[in-house]
Structure formats: structure tokens, C-alpha cells
Amino acid sequence: MQFPYFSKTLPFIIFVSDLDPANEAPILVNPLDAMQVFLGSYFELQIPQDTFYDYEDGNTRNLTLDVVDEHGEALTPQSWLQFNDSSQTLYGMPLSHDNISGSVEFIIEAKDSVGAATRNLIEVFINETSNVEPSFTFLGQFDLDFSKFLLRRDRIIDLIWRLSSYFGDPTPDGVHVISVRKGSVIVKWTNATISVDSCNEDAIQNLYESIVTNGTINEEFQKAMSDVFPVYKLDLNWHGVCEHLSYSDTTEVPTTAADVDSLDILVVTLVPIILFVGLLISVLILFWIFCRRKTSGQFILDDEKPIFTKSRKPIFMEGELEMTDVVKRSRKPIIMSPDPEPDAFSNPACLHSDQPDPPPYTLPVDGLGSLFVDPDFQTSTPNQGLAIDDPDEGYVTPPPPYRLPPLYLSYPGSTEV
């Protein structure tokens, strides 16, 4: 169990352990109050050995150090600030996409061999890039997965170290990273050792030609990047005092490696699939329309019956009969010419018929066919139903005699359908 002791004069907290009453916690001798770093630039700081001291274990090198954020949370691999506990070194590289400004506080914790600890609160000031635009920038495109590349800040720092080492710099202080963005991984950087007050075109061209030979990225630079950072494109752009040199040099490396960026996958794979499916659907629609027009108007099924209007005018839809081209182009149903109106005076024979009139229909009154009504049957409504002539006999008034329908008039030369 540990309980804290708050110092009134120094920016640290001492934790006294009750595991060994005779043990004393480390003390902060030379506190680290603040440090300044630059946005887009690498930094590192080894904690001095006289920062902490423990009466039993000695100076800082004999203590166990750890760094946490101001909330006491451990640093993550993607944090812009990292700590090497073996060398007791703070290092990192804040970038523009980290969205940090002003100052950030961190806590350095020192423990002795027993577990007693003390802490030092340090404030890190982030100095944003100046308003002076660089005279040039390199735009390198690397065949890497952007999302995985950002998972560890050590990947970016390793790339900057390789660039500095290739240019012969002992530290990566001269490489200033402006941005890191997708596509696969595009790193935009400049050399901070080149003056921004005047355009030193020769020095910039020498840097570019040390990477590019005869229009292609040379093998030495590719080996320096190794398989960890496969580069396949490099652009040189002019800015600031060198903006009058409007040309830009672009160099690519022939490579068979596929770009795994999600945007490129969308463009290269998904868009062609959508276009192909749309084209296939269009072809199927055109083929269906062509077949439908080709098979129309060739025959009429045996079980099809003519359609008539109310005046018995036959109707034939388009395509039911073979017709002339003029008729086929019509979109309306074809109505045949009407039948001639009957003329009784022109054909008097149609007004008379030699057939005799049928005998009147009579209702049988006895036998099985007689219609008998039970005299005891009482209806709920006497005024409704069949009229009974004689309630005692139970007979019903017979219906009127049956009459034949009017004759159908036919004319010479006409044909019944």
C-alpha cells in the first residue's frame, strides 16, 4: 500500500511505501518543468540521470521510469509522444493530423526497487510551423496501407530516419514533415537545412538528383527504404521564393505491387463492376424488346375468339393478323366496317315466317306435376308472395303463356359469325 505526500515547493508527488518503513521514496532533485517541440519535426530527450535520486538505489539510471498522460493513462503506440524505458528517453513527432496545439502535460514516474514512487509533471509546448512557406517540397508515395501505417508512430519515425540517413544527416532534425495522407501513404516533406529566404535551385536539384537518375528512382534510394517502405513515386514541387520555377518533376518506379488504399480499391474494382452490371442490364432490356417485336403479328391461336363491340363490330388488336405496313404501324385497335342496317321493305320475306305459333303454356293441375300449396301454410306477410285464387283448393295463378323471341333477320349474301 502507498500513500502520497504532496510537495509544496516542487512540481511532483512522492509516494511513500509501507512495505518497508525504513525505505525512503525517490526524490526529485532537478525537475523537468517544460520542453518545446516543433510540429512535423522529430525530437528526443533523454531524462538526465540527476533528475531523480533514491537513498537506497542511487540516481535516475537505477530507477524504473514510466510516462503517462495527464489523466494517468499509459501512452499508446499511435501517440505522438513515445518513451523508451530502457534508455529512459522521450521521443516523438507531432503531426498536423494529431490536431494538437498549445501545450500538453505528461507525468514522469520514478520507482525504486521496493516500489516507492515519485512523479514529475512536465509540460510540453508544441511550436507550430512558421508562416514562412518552404521553397520546395518532396511528395513521396509509398505502397503501404494507410490505416496500418498510422497505428504505430514508430513507423513514421523510422521512415524519417531512413530519409535523413540517405541524405547523410546524423539525425532527422533536417527533415520537416508537412503532412501524411492517404493514397496509399503520401508523405510531404521538405529539408529544413535549405534556406527559405532565397531560392537555392542548385542545392534543391542536387537533392532531387540524388534520388532520381535518368528519370527513374535509383536503386540506392530504394534499398535505403528497403521492403519496409516501398516507394514508387516521387514529385518535386516549388514553393515560396522558388515559385517562379513553376515546373515540377515527377518520377515513378515500375512496380507490380497493388495499391491497397480503400479509395483505389473503390475506383479500380467497384466502379468497373457497376458499369458492367449496368451495361448487361441495358443489353438484356434491348434484347427483350427486339424479341417481343419480332414475334408479334405472325399467327393467331386456334382457341382465340374474335372480340366484338356492342354493335357486333369485330376488333382485331395490332399483331393479330398479317396486315400491310401502314396498318402495322398503327397503335390503335382496328374496328371493322359496321354491318348494314336491316331494310324490311327491301326484303319483305323477312317480315313473315311460315312457322306456326307455339301452343300456349299451361300449368298441370294434378298428378306429380301439379303445383300445390298447403292450405295450412301461413306466410308472415299475406300481401307478399304468390297470389292464391282459392285458399281452400291451394292453386296458384298460372304464369303467362310462353312466347318465342323475335326472329333473327338475315339477308341474302350475309354470313353469320
pLDDT tens profile 189-219: 998 888 888 898 899 999 899 998 888 899 9
The confidence band for 390, taking pLDDT boundaries of 50, 70 and 90, is low
Q: How far apart are CA 273 and CA 258, in angstroms?
A: 18
pLDDT exceeds 60 at position 373: no
* pLDDT recorded at residue 380: 46
pLDDT exceeds 60 at position 255: no
Residue 177 near residue 40 (C-beta atoms within 8 A): yes
pLDDT: is 5 or 183 the higher one? Answer: 183
pLDDT exceeds 60 at position 19: no
Q: What are phi and psi of 68, to 5 degrees?
A: -130, 165
* pLDDT recorded at residue 318: 56
pTM (2 decimals)?
A: 0.56
The confidence band for 227, taking pLDDT boundaries of 50, 70 and 90, is confident
Average pLDDT, the chain: 76
The grid coordinates of residue 151 equal 497505428
Q: How far apart are CA 145 and CA 260, in angstroms?
A: 6
Of 110, 136, 129, the C-alpha closest to 121 is: 110
pLDDT exceeds 90 at position 248: no
How many Cβ atoms are within 10 Å of 157's Cβ, its own excluded? 19
Helix (H, G, I), strand (E, B) or coil at 62: helix
Highest mean pLDDT among 222-226, 252-256, 345-349: 222-226
Mean pLDDT for 328-335 is 56
How many Cβ atoms are within 10 Å of 266's Cβ, its own excluded? 10
Exposure on the CB side of residue 19, measured as CA atoms within 13 A: 11
The confidence band for 371, taking pLDDT boundaries of 50, 70 and 90, is very low
Q: How far apart are CA 68 and CA 76, in angstroms?
A: 10
The confidence band for 103, taking pLDDT boundaries of 50, 70 and 90, is very high
Residue that the C-alpha cell 327491301 belongs to: 346
How many Cβ atoms are within 10 Å of 212's Cβ, its own excluded? 17
Mean pLDDT for 343-350 is 51
pLDDT exceeds 60 at position 16: no
Q: How far apart are CA 71 and CA 250, in angstroms?
A: 46
* pLDDT recorded at residue 183: 82
The confidence band for 99, taking pLDDT boundaries of 50, 70 and 90, is confident
pLDDT exceeds 90 at position 271: no
Q: How far is CA 18 from CA 25, 110, 112, in A?
A: 10, 17, 13
* pLDDT recorded at residue 413: 57
* pLDDT recorded at residue 105: 95
The confidence band for 90, taking pLDDT boundaries of 50, 70 and 90, is very high
* pLDDT recorded at residue 412: 58
* pLDDT recorded at residue 370: 45
Q: Is 343 left (phi over 0), alpha (psi -120 to 50) or beta?
A: beta
Of 90, 99, 76, 75, the C-alpha closest to 36 is: 90
Residue 137 near residue 159 (C-beta atoms within 8 A): no
The confidence band for 244, taking pLDDT boundaries of 50, 70 and 90, is confident
pLDDT: is 189 or 132 the higher one? Answer: 189
Residue 318 near residue 333 (C-beta atoms within 8 A): yes
The confidence band for 417, taking pLDDT boundaries of 50, 70 and 90, is very low
pLDDT exceeds 50 at position 377: no
* pLDDT recorded at residue 393: 53
Q: How far is CA 237 from CA 30, 109, 201, 247, 261, in A?
A: 46, 45, 12, 8, 24
Q: How far apart are CA 35 and CA 92, in angstroms?
A: 13
pLDDT: is 7 or 62 the higher one? Answer: 62
* pLDDT recorded at residue 381: 46
pLDDT exceeds 90 at position 378: no
pLDDT exceeds 50 at position 140: yes
Helix (H, G, I), strand (E, B) or coil at 390: strand
Q: How far apart are CA 23 and CA 114, in angstroms?
A: 8
Q: What percent of the chain has pLDDT over 70?
A: 61
Mean pLDDT for 92-102 is 90
Helix (H, G, I), strand (E, B) or coil at 113: coil
- For the chain, which domains are there? 2-127 (2.60.40.10), 136-260 (no CATH), 296-337 (no CATH)
pLDDT exceeds 60 at position 59: yes
